């Protein structure tokens, strides 16, 4: 099986810092699932990623509109939240298929709610809520995902 990494994040600042680190290893065409309960820190991680990429403005949770779109130089970043998604017709209507392409990174909260429609993930980030802080584990499902994790590991422990 492919590479996995895990982290303990004591507070929101740690989640933002991990997001910034992840932002430095992202490549276009990556699909990343963010798995975890309500309030686990998924949107916070996306906020760290966007700040790491140089986005200066607010990062809203896409809970009501299903997707927030960011363009940072030539990269499109699509932040999905499928918590309120239920009608497969809406997938076609919104043209979501086109969001998954060679110029985009897709970060997806509640992917299980759009199972059968979403393409497979390259990386899955799993959030576990602890009494204090969060455990995060990241695993790669594809070679592209594994390349990112190798870079991330190298950033954590440079030789």
Q: Which residues bind ligand ATP (CB under 6 A)?
A: 9, 11-12, 14-15, 36, 38-44, 61, 63, 81, 109, 133-134
- Whole-number minimum distance, CB 109 to Mg ion, in Å? 5
36 versus 145: smaller Cβ distance to ligand ATP: 36
96 versus 110: smaller Cβ distance to Mg ion: 110
Phi, psi of 32 (to 5 degrees): -125, 120
113 versus 153: smaller Cβ distance to Mg ion: 113
- Whole-number minimum distance, CB 80 to Mg ion, in Å? 10
State the binding partner of 14 from ligand ATP, Mg ion, none, CB within 5 to 8 A by kind. ligand ATP
- Whole-number minimum distance, CB 43 to Mg ion, in Å? 3
- Whole-number minimum distance, CB 118 to ligand ATP, in Å? 16
Contact yes or no for 136/7 (Cβ under 8 A)? yes
Contact yes or no for 102/113 (Cβ under 8 A)? no
- Whole-number minimum distance, CB 31 to ligand ATP, in Å? 18
Contact yes or no for 42/34 (Cβ under 8 A)? yes
Query: Could you list the residues that contact Mg ion (CB under 5 A)?
Result: 42-43, 61
Q: Beta strands of 42-155 (E only): which ranges?
A: 67-72, 75-81, 104-109, 123-129, 134-140
Query: Token digits for 16?
Result: 């933002």
Cross-sheet strand order for the sheet of 75-81:
4-9, 134-140, 123-129, 31-35, 104-109, 75-81, 67-72
State the binding partner of 35 from ligand ATP, Mg ion, none, CB within 5 to 8 A by kind. none
The closest alpha carbon to 123, from 91, 153, 147, belongs to 147
State the binding partner of 9 from ligand ATP, Mg ion, none, CB within 5 to 8 A by kind. ligand ATP
């Amino acid at each position: 099986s492919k590479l996995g990494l895990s982290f303990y994040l004591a507070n929101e600042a740690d989640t933002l810092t991990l997001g910034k680190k992840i932002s430095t290893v992202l490549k276009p065409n990556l699909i990343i699932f963010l798995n975890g309960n309500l309030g686990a820190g998924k949107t916070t991680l996306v906020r760290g990623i966007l700040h790491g990429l140089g986005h200066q403005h607010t990062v809203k949770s896409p809970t009501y509109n299903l997707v927030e779109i960011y363009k940072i130089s030539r990269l499109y970043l699509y932040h999905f939240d499928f918590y309120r998604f239920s009608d497969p017709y809406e997938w076609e209507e919104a043209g979501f298929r086109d969001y998954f392409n060679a110029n985009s990174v897709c970060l997806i909260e509640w992917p299980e709610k759009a199972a059968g429609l979403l393409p497979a993930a390259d990386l899955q980030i799993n959030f576990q809520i602890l009494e204090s802080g969060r455990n995060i584990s990241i695993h790669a499902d594809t070679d592209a995902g594994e390349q990112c994790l190798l870079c991330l590991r190298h950033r954590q422990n440079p030789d």
